[in-house]
Amino acid sequence: MASLLLCIVLCSYYSIAYGGGGDQSFVTVPTSSFEPERVCSGERVMSEQNNSAVSLPLVHRHGPCAPSISPDKPSFADTLRISRARINHITSGVPRSMGSHGDEKASIPAHLGTSVKSLEYVVTVSFGTPAVPKVVVIDTGSDLSWLQCKPCRPGECSQQKDPLFDPSHSSTYGSVDCGSAPCKKLTADAYANGCANGKQCGFLISYADGTSTDGVYSKDKLTLAPGVVVNNFYFGCGHDKRAVQGLYDGLLGLGRLSESLASQYGGAVSYCLPAVSSKPGFLALGAGKSPSGFQFTPMGRVPGQPTFATVTLAGITVGGKKLNLRPSAFQGGMIVDSGTVITGLQSTAYQALRSAFRSAMAAYPMVPNDHLETCYNLAGHKNVVVPKIALTFSGGATINLDVPNGILVNGCLAFADSGLDGTTGVLGNVNQRTFEVLFDTSSSKVGFRANAC
């Protein structure tokens, strides 16, 4: 009887709203597909770009594919709280109506990051000679990469599974001199922290949650894969990492400034985040111009925060029906961020999406949630009918979000209100799942390739 009632409700909705086209605009998925498996599943996946120089496996740091299980896995509520804090911090210094293009400056320090606890995806690379493997989180919201290094006095560095990186054991390691051009650039980008021992260039990254890491700006050989190295890779060798727990060995910055891995390696950078944490994705570096299989949209920038890349939405479709939204609803642009979980949409666009999605999911009971407004109790359902959501960007690039894991997270719609129209939103990592997202800074465009992992 319950199944019959469910069919009546959904079929009526399809017929009235979409003239019977629901079979192409809705997807029936088993509820088991919402949850990751307990063991790592699926073969290693790679970028299909023939001209990509290197592709590394990328995994969720709290999933079974991770090199080791992180002891500090946050609750769903904590994950949402941290993600919201990251959105608030990223967008706090962006002038209204200037999120995509423009020359207005924002008065916030460039070195101030967000909570590193929000970062979820890791890769394994090697530092030094001989090469020492290190598991590091990736972040499109950071430029300067860093490791936790020896020497570090007790209580001044966080616990990690692997030994601290020891520069004295690497024959290719060197500290950066204070008067050098790289140190001057570090100062210009607001990551510098004076001189250590009178001659070594110091670095400091302070995060919005009160954590920080500082030490010596350094260079060494970075090995991405066998035979693929970056000689004289610049990074921070941290000797004081306060209250940053459970982050493996360090961080790889994928931002747009010269300190980032993407800039130092050359070429475009891309990644594919898996649908669930029990499957692998990849990080690819060095792609040439115009790789095949992508839809491209112009890349904008955030005034006063040059680390970030933005895109501009042009339309949203829910269950086959395009929402009636004016271009002004998307004027602020969207930061493409690997570290934010939930997508933050400007108010008018968010409210229209929320209303359409709730109508399409009317057959399922809603439940309250302290952090998200549209959550469902799907217990007792073997299968769930979910409306497709498509995001169209300027230039016509359209992505159909993965169903269900690019739309729902823990039974909740993975969108939130980011603020007034004209402010900047954030494209979160749930919506990015299974797409290869490519940042081609030299051509000022962002690409999306569907079903990449």
- CATH at 196: 2.40.70.10
Domain's final residue, options 258, 285, 312: 285
* Residue 84 within a domain: yes
* Residue 13 within a domain: no
Instruction: Give me the number of domains the chain comprises.
Output: 2
Domain's final residue, options 255, 285, 315: 285
Per-residue pLDDT of the chain (453 residues; tens, 9 = 90+): 444 344 433 443 333 333 333 447 999 999 888 877 778 886 666 655 545 578 899 998 878 888 876 666 777 787 777 777 777 777 665 544 433 333 332 222 223 334 445 578 999 999 999 999 999 989 998 899 999 898 877 666 777 778 899 999 999 999 999 989 999 998 888 887 888 777 899 998 877 666 778 899 999 999 999 889 999 999 999 887 664 555 578 899 999 989 999 899 987 899 999 998 888 999 999 876 668 899 999 999 887 788 899 999 999 999 999 999 999 999 989 999 998 899 999 999 999 999 999 999 999 999 999 889 999 999 889 999 999 999 999 999 999 999 999 999 999 999 999 999 999 999 999 999 999 999 998 899 999 999 999
The reply to whether 147 and 281 lie within a common domain is yes
* Residue 344 within a domain: yes
Q: Which domain holds residue 329?
A: 26-32+292-449
The reply to whether 260 and 306 lie within a common domain is no
The reply to whether 281 and 299 lie within a common domain is no
* Residue 63 within a domain: yes
The reply to whether 141 and 80 lie within a common domain is yes
* Residue 5 within a domain: no
Catalytic residues: 139, 337
The reply to whether 279 and 330 lie within a common domain is no
* Residue 59 within a domain: yes
* Residue 85 within a domain: yes
Furthest C-alpha separation in the chain = 79
The reply to whether 310 and 441 lie within a common domain is yes
Nearest of 144, 450, 123, 118 to residue 285 by alpha carbon: 123
Domain's final residue, options 229, 254, 285: 285
